[in-house]
Amino acid sequence: MKKAFTLVVLMVTPTMAFAQGTVGFANGTGIVRWPGMSLPVGGGCVELIAAPTGTALANPLFTYDSCGLGSLNFSSLEGFLAANPGWQSVATVWFTAPVAGRFNGGTVTIPNIAPGANAEYFLIGWTGSSVTWDAAVWSGALLGESAIFTTATGNPLAYPPVSPVSLAATFAGMTLGWDCLGCFNGFTAEPTNQTAVLGATATLYVRAIACPPPYYQWYFNGVSIPGATDSSFQISNAQVTNAGTYWVVLSNTAWGVRASGSATLTVRAEPIITSPPQSQTAYVGSTVNFRASAGGSLPFAYQWYFNGSAISGAGSSDLRLTSVSATQAGTYTLVVTNVVGAVTSAPAMLSVIPPVERRMVPVIALLGQPGSLLHLDDADALGPSPGWATFSSVTLTNSSQLYFDVSTPLPPQRFYRAWQTGGQSVLPSLDLKRAPALTVTGPIGSSVRVDYINQFGPTDAWVALDTVMLTNAAQLYFDVSTPGQPPRLYRLVQVP
């Protein structure tokens, strides 16, 4: 019996499903460029994005405004590809010198494209040294994308094999950055009013959609600021002199001149005491006024303090104390406050002393020949008939002699004249001043020292003026050194 044999022949043939189209990733003509230049002057990258013919690109990578300026719609390339199914990143290649703008990435295979089939593609690119699109975005590099092109692909499995199709045959170029013919599409941010504390930093900004980009010039109160030619202007260590109005002018010969709105910078200064309250001495029962002034940014709030405690109702730059007593002697300070801060004045001391009886009297300085007799007249008004009346006669013991008019009450005004009889070699004359007449009291024959102190100033700066021997239980002492001096107060001290 013969055995039957069955011959099974297995054949393995290349299947098109395992092959994919190839292209030559090159341009060869140097048409990757920067705006306004035929070729970029530095390095960068291009990346090939491809899909089968007819694949929708529903969510573009960029959106372009009326100026032709593009804005990114995706923060990462992965996000863009996820939003556009079918599109893939195929390969990345550098373009560098010696021929800037050209690239040649060799042969690349486009996934999911049948060998020899058509593919759609576009290129994205960036300048600089970043190795990925995402890194370039964050680095601030110039970005760009080409239009979408269609290319045939090579078939490596055909017999004979069909060579990769160079993209140079269809690629029409791209720009890194944006080409524009001249467009200003408005401000997106303008300078805004600001308030800065003295010594702080203030920064003003402007943003605009414009192509080509603008040149900037900042102005302060209508005058251009030298060197202020950026999109922002910073004022360091702001002073009150920096307060005012700022704006910026944007310009480019392609689209003209545009001025921003103005912004006001207010510089607020902490209060400072420019005139502190003065220490002073006052008599019991008198009125005392403390005054102070402050500089800085208005408005101010005021509060006076006595020995560290706030004085109720004392909320102005002046403090008036009426009918003072010894209990009000002490330290007074003023606190001035504004929105920035507060300042306390130097302390002012108030000394309250017992009063000394005194009144201001006219002092007539007589000049004439010693030994001559001068007659003194007075009148309360001058006119065609002034009504002169002789009230005293004085025999001069010196060529210059003082006479005190102690009459009471004195009228609101009084006029004086001096005259003499007989021929004298020196004609008489007079001068008029005022001086305090102090009533000094004590036992007859006792001595009293008269001290004075300036009303305003240190409260312990007493000066011994004179010592008076009393010939009456009460007698007048005239302080003829007061004319031209600051206001004085007095005390009387019994001398042993």
Residue 422 has what pLDDT? 73
Cα distances (Å, whole numbers) of residue 103 to 3, 82, 373: 69, 27, 125
Residue 15 has what pLDDT? 35
Q: What's the mean pLDDT in 357-365?
A: 95
Task: Give the lowest-confidence range in 29-43, 179-193, 430-444.
Answer: 29-43
Give the integer Cα–Cα distance in Å for 384 and 367. 27
- Of the candidates 303, 301, 299, 308, the one whose C-alpha atom is nearest the C-alpha of residue 290 is 303
Q: What order do you get walking across the sheet with 104-109 strand by strand?
A: 104-109, 22-26, 165-166
Question: Residue 32 — pLDDT band, cuts 50, 70, 90?
Answer: low
β-pairing verdict for 447-454 and 488-495: antiparallel
Residue 277 has what pLDDT? 98
User: Is 50 exceeded by the pLDDT of residue 466?
Assistant: yes
Question: Residue 36 — pLDDT band, cuts 50, 70, 90?
Answer: very low
Residue 24 has what pLDDT? 86
User: Is 80 exceeded by the pLDDT of residue 7?
Assistant: no
Segment 61-103, tens digit of pLDDT = 999 877 777 789 998 999 999 999 999 999 999 876 545 678 8
Q: What's the mean pLDDT in 345-359?
A: 97
Give the integer Cα–Cα distance in Å for 94 and 126. 10
Q: Residue 132 carries which DSSP code?
A: S
Q: For residues 157, 160, 166 and 167, what is the CA-based torsion angle, rounded to 10 degrees?
A: -50
Cβ proximity of 284 and 355 under 8 Å: yes
Question: Residue 31 — pLDDT band, cuts 50, 70, 90?
Answer: low
CATH code, 183-268: 2.60.40.10
Cβ proximity of 478 and 437 under 8 Å: yes
Question: Residue 30 — pLDDT band, cuts 50, 70, 90?
Answer: low
Task: Give the lowest-confidence range in 1-15, 61-75, 224-238, 405-419.
Answer: 1-15
Cβ proximity of 49 and 87 under 8 Å: yes
Work out the widest C-alpha separation in the chain, in whole angstroms: 197
Mean pLDDT, the chain, integer:
89
Cα distances (Å, whole numbers) of residue 217 to 202, 223, 226, 236, 341: 17, 10, 8, 18, 35
Do 183-268 and 272-353 show the same overall fold?
yes
DSSP bridge partners of 321 = 288
Residue 191 has what pLDDT? 98
Question: Residue 4 — pLDDT band, cuts 50, 70, 90?
Answer: very low
What's the count of helices (H) and strands (E) in the chain, helices before strands?
2, 42
Task: Give the lowest-confidence range in 40-49, 83-92, 317-326, 457-466.
Answer: 40-49
Residue 428 has what pLDDT? 86
Residue 98 has what pLDDT? 47
Give the integer Cα–Cα distance in Å for 153 and 167. 9
User: Is 50 exceeded by the pLDDT of residue 6?
Assistant: no
User: Is 50 exceeded by the pLDDT of residue 474?
Assistant: yes
Residue 33 has what pLDDT? 62
Give the integer Cα–Cα distance in Å for 59 and 79. 10
- Of the candidates 440, 439, 418, the one whose C-alpha atom is nearest the C-alpha of residue 429 is 418
The alpha carbons of the chain give a radius of gyration, in whole angstroms, of: 51
What percent of the residues of the chain are helix, what percent strand, and what percent coil, each to the nearest 5?
A: 5, 45, 50
Query: What one-letter code names the amino acid at 395?
Result: T
Q: What's the mean pLDDT in 333-347?
A: 97
For 206, other C-beta atoms within 10 Å of its C-beta total 24
Residue 17 has what pLDDT? 39
Considering the chain, what percentage of its residues have pLDDT values greater than 90? Answer: 70
Q: Can you give the residue ranges of every domain in the chain?
A: 16-175, 183-268, 272-353, 358-495
DSSP bridge partners of 125 = 46, 144
User: Is 70 exceeded by the pLDDT of residue 37?
Assistant: no
Give the integer Cα–Cα distance in Å for 257 and 160. 64
User: Is 90 exceeded by the pLDDT of residue 425?
Assistant: no
User: Is 50 exceeded by the pLDDT of residue 184?
Assistant: yes
Question: Residue 28 — pLDDT band, cuts 50, 70, 90?
Answer: low
Q: Homologous superfamily of 272-353 in CATH?
A: Immunoglobulins (2.60.40.10)
Cβ proximity of 364 and 403 under 8 Å: yes
Cβ proximity of 235 and 270 under 8 Å: no
Task: Give the lowest-confidence range in 18-22, 195-199, 210-214, 396-400.
Answer: 18-22
pTM score, whole prediction: 0.59
Q: What's the mean pLDDT in 313-322?
A: 98
Q: What's the mean pLDDT in 104-125?
A: 93
Task: Give the lowest-confidence range in 101-105, 231-235, 468-472.
Answer: 101-105
Cβ proximity of 450 and 432 under 8 Å: no
